[in-house]
């Protein structure tokens, strides 16, 4: 598969997980300077790795939550927590990942991301009740 096909497939996956407006906003954030990075993200991250057959999407999302929490990347955690919801992850699964992060990486690594996850699940709950 050529990179153009991977790019198109990855862009479609990103929009499915995070919403079209959010993806467009993130892609435009760094302008022309950031375009090469966005190409890599679309083609290789989402068009290739996320399209692999070894893990189901909800497991990939849980792995991403663990990685972003453990590496103290709360902004990326927020993005992937929303994607985790779109991929069918449950509150219990996310909470369990964050407890593992707390135990293996330290409580400070899990504090902010636990707050973010709580906020995102509360928003999702209120949206589903409306």
- Count of residues in the chain: 130
* Concatenated DSSP letters of 88-121: T--HHHHHHHHHHHHHHH-HHHHHHHHHHHHHHH
Give ranges for CATH 1.20.1290.10 in the chain: 55-130
For the entire predicted model, the pTM comes to 0.90
Q: Which CATH architecture has domain 55-130?
A: Up-down Bundle (1.20)
pLDDT of residue 126: 84
DSSP conformational letter for 49: G
Among the residues of the chain, which ranges form H helices?
Answer: 3-18, 20-28, 31-40, 57-70, 74-86, 91-105, 107-129
Token pair, residue 15, equals 């929009």
Residue spans of the chain under pLDDT 70: 130
* Residue range 26-61, pLDDT digits in tens: 999 989 999 999 999 999 999 999 999 999 999 999
Place of tokens 């407006």: 21
């Amino acid at each position: 598969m050529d990179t153009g096909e991977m790019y198109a497939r990855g862009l479609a996956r990103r929009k499915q997980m995070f919403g079209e407006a959010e993806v467009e906003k993130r892609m435009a954030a760094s302008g022309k300077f950031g375009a090469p990075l966005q190409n890599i993200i679309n083609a290789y991250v989402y068009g290739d790795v996320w399209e692999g057959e070894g893990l189901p999407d909800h497991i990939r999302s849980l792995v991403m939550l663990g990685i972003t929490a453990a590496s103290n990347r709360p902004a990326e955690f927020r993005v992937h927590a929303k994607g985790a919801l779109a991929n069918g992850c449950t509150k219990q699964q996310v909470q369990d990942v964050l407890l593992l992060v707390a135990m293996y990486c330290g409580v400070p690594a899990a504090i902010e991301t636990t707050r973010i996850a709580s906020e995102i699940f509360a928003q999702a709950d209120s949206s589903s009740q409306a």
